[in-house]
Amino acid sequence: MRIAVLSDLHANLPFAEAAVRRARRHACDRIVHLGDAIDLGPWPGETLDFLQSEGVELVRGNHDEYPILGLTPAIDAKLEPHIRSHIAWTASQLRADHLALLAGLPPRIDSRVDEWTVRFQHYLLDGDRVSDEYLGENPDGVMRRFAVRPGEVLCFGHIHTRIWRFCDNRGALNPGATGFHGTDGAWFAVLVVRESGVWIEWHPVECEAHLVVQELEHRRVPAWESSVHYMFETVAG
């Protein structure tokens, strides 16, 4: 089986379309998005509509939680007013069916593929919510903290950093941020699962950032300059 693994599109519709088109060209059997479909970019509702229309399997991320569950106390304590305005704007762009979709998204999906268990989740969980804990990027530490078992491949997002680690019959994959550029570009991964083993293919997202920048400004999205900086000028953490 070939599974396209996307993450952290953050309301970036052109990048979502480019990634899904490329996944289709490379004969993927499933496409899974690991959370944070919304916030930052200018197309929150349109991105959700597109992912649904393409049959993309969705996991709930922390930014997907904010319109339905509010901010966690830790996030609430550190957000600046202009970022709060942006989060409120994102929520205002969502229809009732979008909110129902977000409320129904699972925090985790476990799939049995051949002899392997493949686990999809945005990040560590604190109950039903995404945890505020930050693990860093050490793959061995990630596998320990997520308690990845032999015969299991973990696919997670959130930290916007590409990771692939396979050892002792266990794997951990982070496809990076599919909706960001940063210094590493925008990416998704194809996880190839066979009875004999698992491996990945890296795929760049071929789309221009100026499309997003123009729409952020055109729609007068609050804190749009911060979005541009975060999505295209820095490596997000």
- pTM over 0.85, yes/no: yes
Q: 39-74 pLDDT, tens per residue?
A: 999 999 999 999 999 999 999 999 999 999 999 999
Total structural domains within the chain: 1
pLDDT above 70: percentage of residues in the chain: 97
Where does residue 99 rank: exposed (0-12), middle (13-18), buried (19+ CB within 10 A)?
middle
pLDDT-based confidence at residue 235 (cuts at 50, 70, 90): very low
User: Is residue 56 within 8 Å of residue 33, measured between CB atoms?
Assistant: yes
- What is the distance between the alpha carbons of residues 13 and 46, in angstroms, rounded to a whole number? 7
**One-letter identity of residue 137:** E
Per the model's pLDDT, the better-predicted residue between 196 and 28 turns out to be: 28
Mean pLDDT of the chain: 94
- Return the CATH number at 197: 3.60.21.10
198 token code pair: 């698992």
For residue 233, the model assigns a pLDDT of 82
Residues of the chain above pLDDT 90, percent: 90
234: confidence class by pLDDT, cuts 50, 70, 90: low
Domain that holds residue 216: 2-233
List, for residues 155-202, the tens digit of each pLDDT value.
999 999 999 999 999 999 999 999 998 667 899 999 999 988 999 999
CA distance 204 to 188: 7
pLDDT at 237 over 50: no
Across residues 115-133, what is the average pLDDT?
96
Angle, to 10 degrees, between the axis of helix 81-92 and the axis of helix 62-69? 80
Mean pLDDT for the stretch of residues 12-30? 98
| pLDDT score recorded for residue 168 | 93
CA atoms of 75 and 77, how far apart (whole Å): 5
pLDDT at 183: 67
